Amino acid sequence: MKKILKGCLTVLLLTFITLTSLGYLEYRKAVREKPLEEKISEIQSQPHYVAIENISDYLKTATVATEDQRFYKHHGVDVVAYGRILYVLVTTGQINSGGSTISQQLAKNLYFGFEPSLIRKFAEFFVVHDLESQYEKDEILELYVNIINYGDQHMGIYEATHGYFDKDPKDLSLDEATLVAGIPQSPANYQLSNHSAEARKRQKVVLQALIDTGSFTQEEVEQLLNE
C-alpha cells in the first residue's frame, strides 16, 4: 500500500514539474509577443474603458461574491484547485478547468483563450503572478469587468450596461447588477436577448452569494429589489 501511495505521489510530482516547466515556456512565448504592460495599456486606452470608481458597487460586490469570494485574500491562485486538477488528470485522464480565480480568468482572457489545456492552465500561473505583483486588486477587478464577455456580443461592462439597460455602469441598481454579474459564467446560456429566464435563475444564485458572504442581509436584498 505504501509503495502504491509513494508511486502515486511520484507521478503527481513529476506531472506537476513537467506541466509547470511547459507552462512557463508557454508564458514566456506569450509575453515575448506582447508584454503584460503593453496588453493592459491597450485595454485601458480603449474609448469605452470604465475606471473602477465609475462602476456600480453592486456590480463589483456581486462579481466578487459570485466569481471569487476570496479575491481580496488570496494571491491570485487557488492552490487547492490546482491539486484537484492534477488529481483528476492522473486518475481519469480528463482536464478539469474549474476553480479559476478572477486573476486567472483575466490572465486567460489576456493571453490564452478558452481551449482546454493543462499547459495553458499552468501558464496562467505565471501571468497571474505578474498581475498580482504589479497591480492592485481593484485594478485587476477593473480590468476583468472591462474585458469579460457579458453575452449578446457585449464585451466589457460598458457595452453590457448600455446594451442591456441603456445606462452607465455606475448607475446599475442591485437588480440590474446581479443580473449582469451572473452572465459571464456562461454567456451564451445567460444572455438576455434569448435566455432571460435562465439569467433570472442564475441571478438568484448571485443574490444568495451576496447574502452568504455577508455583503447584504436577506432583508436588505428584498428591500433593494423592491425599490
pLDDT at 45 over 90: yes
Give the model confidence (pLDDT) of 115-161 as tens digits. 778 888 889 999 999 999 999 999 999 999 999 999 999 999 999 99
User: Using 50, 70 and 90 to split pLDDT, how confident is the model at 97?
Assistant: low
CA gap 8, 109 in Å, rounded = 33
110's CB contacts (< 8 A; 6+ apart) are 36, 39, 40, 127, 147
Any idea what the CATH number is for the domain that residue 102 is in? 1.10.3810.10
The pTM (predicted TM-score) of the whole model is 0.87
pLDDT at 53 over 90: yes
pLDDT at 98 over 80: no
With cell 509513494, the residue in question is 6
**For position 86, what pLDDT does the model report?**
61
Instruction: Give which of 206, 211, 218, 214 is closest to 67, Cα–Cα.
Output: 206
pLDDT at 203 over 80: yes
Give the model confidence (pLDDT) of 153-193 as tens digits. 999 999 999 999 999 999 999 999 999 999 999 999 999 99
**For position 52, what pLDDT does the model report?**
97
State how many domains the chain has: 1
**For position 134, what pLDDT does the model report?**
96
- Range(s) of the domain holding residue 205: 2-226
C-alpha cell at 1: 500500500
